[in-house]
Structure 1
Amino acid sequence: MGSGEAAARVRCVAAVPCWVSLMARDLEDAKKFYGPLLGWEFEPSPDRFGPYVHAVTGGEAVAGLGVVGGGAIPLAWTSYFGTESADAAADAVRERGATLAVGPLAFDAGRIAIAADPAGAAFGIWEGRPGRARKLDVPGAPVWIELRTPDPFAAALFYGEVFRWDGRDPERFDVRWEHDRVVLRAEGHSVAALAKEQAGGPAGMPPHWEVSFAVPDTDRALALAVELGGGAVGPAFDSPYGRVARLRDRDGARFAVISPKG
């Protein structure tokens, strides 16, 4: 997030993941990897915390990339949940025995915090310009955000209490059980899910929010990621939502690509 033309297009959607961001070791190197892989162009977005750019595809700002300090910090994509009050959400995190790592901090696009749920999965909190959920049907957009955790029901209770899932307008927001997952829907679209996976499961990861970006051809994207210096975390596979490949970038940050079903 940040100022500039792209920031004006980004909107905070309460209760659901509405932004994804990566803090890379080398911003230019990350751009050389993700740009060709996902068809991104980049717009500078000055930020008080250091260099930061918006990834843009189809005229939409779909993700942010910044620079992390220190070489020993594991790199990962962070999913930010929208909220009406970053302070209230941060208080709810602490009250439920989870970890508030950073913030809330004020910056040009609102207020943010970084937290970890009781199982250790990191996520962001964002209080910003309000908007409504919409489906981005453009290649390179984050189209599926999924929590991989040992107990999705306990996780759903935690996130439901932090982001007040109960009591919201059922015409605009609902939580359901679908394809062995707890699925969040907003404005008629499935926007995220919580799925069971043992720590150190098939992806070799502890509990985490997995970001999946849309691509026209998953197998081709997997091969391109390897050519660009990244790697595959297992073979591509078919899911209820499309064909998926779990990947890592040049610095080891993990993400996924998916060819969504119509």
Structure 2
Amino acid sequence: MRFMSPGSVVWFEIGTADLQTVQNFYGPLLGWTFEVDPDSSFDGRTYTRIIAPGAPWPMGAIQQGETGGEVINLSMLSADVGADVDKLTALGAEVVVPATAVGDVTVFARLKDPRGNTFSLFSRGSSEDLAERAQATEEHMEASAFQPQPGSMAWFEIGTTDPQATIDFYSSAFGWRFEKDETAGGKPYFNIFTGGDRPGGGLWEHSSGTGDGDYMMPSILVTDVPATAAAATDAGARVEHGPETNPDGLVFARLLDPHGNHFGLFSQPAHSG
């Protein structure tokens, strides 16, 4: 399976009523730039693309308007959003925004998994006018997945107090595969394979009473996790975990942004290039 296969996590969204605050926080912190997407802005909802430093195409978006509260959610590619919504609700998901067509750009839906984590589905558009841009965006996403640059979403993480329920749901929903991460220094951490031979995310089991709850978040590659985490706290964020270093040299931290949304920071081990 390719990176851009149904069920793959290929996008993220920040839902907010306060677009400027989100941009003022993440822009200086991670070097993100922003541009309004007129084709995806509708019904009074402004859709703003998020572009990583030096990237030609976006990796996510900010949706301003009625989004179900202040939230960051991962987005999975779907071949048929309506059918997938029916399948996921039968597995215990809750619909936040039903399958909705955005002209001929896409169809999307927003749901909550049985543990309360928000995620969304979207389908490829049918617009011939946007086909070239869509293809270029997908090619960039696929290349970035294998050679991520600082400031880009290069991982995702699910934290859960009920790992079996979480694994059962996402395995049944999207065919994800979970394998214990032997490089995590003994932590109950599982790599998540969403459609290829490399993991795209991880699951951290919090059932041992650490006080960490359930969440689902994008993780951003940076060059210096402690420095970026310190800058984030100066800008109004709160560090929930870390910075911590794995035995292989990977450094990571989990934070809450000024609106209370989880996001991760990590840097690669020096030998990984």
Q: Same fold (TM over 0.5)?
A: yes
2:167 matches 1:156:
yes
Match of 1:31 among 10, 19, 23: 23
The percentage of counterpart residues that share the same residue type is: 22
Structure 1 residues 175-254: aligned runs within 5 Å:
175-179=178-182, 180-184=189-193, 186-198=195-207, 201-203=210-212, 206-239=213-246, 242-254=250-262
On the 8 A contact 1:83/1:163 being kept in 2, the answer is: no
Structure 1 residues 1-262: aligned runs within 5 Å:
13-46=5-38, 47-49=41-43, 50-57=45-52, 58-59=54-55, 60-69=57-66, 74-108=69-103, 109-128=105-124, 131=138, 133=142, 134-165=145-176, 175-179=178-182, 180-184=189-193, 186-198=195-207, 201-203=210-212, 206-239=213-246, 242-261=250-269, 262=272
Q: Which moved more, 1:154-163 or 1:132-141?
A: 132-141
**Shift in Å at residue 257 of structure 1?**
1.0
For normalisation by structure 1, the TM-score amounts to 0.80
**Shift in Å at residue 37 of structure 1?**
0.6
The gaps in structure 1 that reach 5 residues or longer are: 1-10, 166-173
How many corresponding residue pairs? 240
**Shift in Å at residue 74 of structure 1?**
4.9
**Shift in Å at residue 148 of structure 1?**
0.9
Q: Which structure features the higher share of strand residues? A: 1
For normalisation by structure 2, the TM-score amounts to 0.78
Change (3 A) 1:24 1:164: same
Change (3 A) 1:37 1:200: farther
- In structure 1, C-alpha distance between the alignment counterparts of 2:249 and 2:163, rounded to whole Å: 18
On the 8 A contact 1:156/1:182 being kept in 2, the answer is: no
Matched residue SS, 1:93: helix
On the 8 A contact 2:47/2:63 being kept in 1, the answer is: yes
On the 8 A contact 1:140/1:214 being kept in 2, the answer is: yes
- In structure 2, C-alpha distance between the alignment counterparts of 1:199 and 1:53, rounded to whole Å: 39
